[in-house]
Amino acid sequence: MTEANLLYGAGAIATHLGMTATQIYHLPKIGNLPTFKIGAKVCAHKAKLNTWLEKQAGGDATSTG
């Protein structure tokens, strides 16, 4: 994964997904958001979040239309 693919902090993840930071902190606790920690910071890979979001919408992340 490239550095440009990394979202560092709940604020960055929230902005990417159009959510609030509170939602970002809550979703991993119920096992629904593909995040990980670097130290105390919650982080995520954009590509994995995009795939997760497509699945939540019932779509195929590999399709183009």
pLDDT single digits (tens) 13-65: 999 999 999 989 888 777 788 999 999 999 999 999 999 889 988 865 555 44
Q: Tell me what pLDDT residue 36 has.
A: 92
Q: What are phi and psi of 37, to 5 degrees?
A: -110, 140
Q: Tell me what pLDDT residue 2 has.
A: 57
Q: Tell me what pLDDT residue 1 has.
A: 52
d(CA 53, CA 62): 12
Q: Are 1 and 18 in contact (CB under 8 A)?
A: no
**What is the value of pTM for the model shown?**
0.77
Q: Tell me what pLDDT residue 65 has.
A: 46
Please state which CATH class domain 3-56 belongs to.
mainly alpha
Write the DSSP assignment of 22-45 as a string of letters: HHHHHGGGGT-S--EEETTEEEEE
Q: Tell me what pLDDT residue 62 has.
A: 55
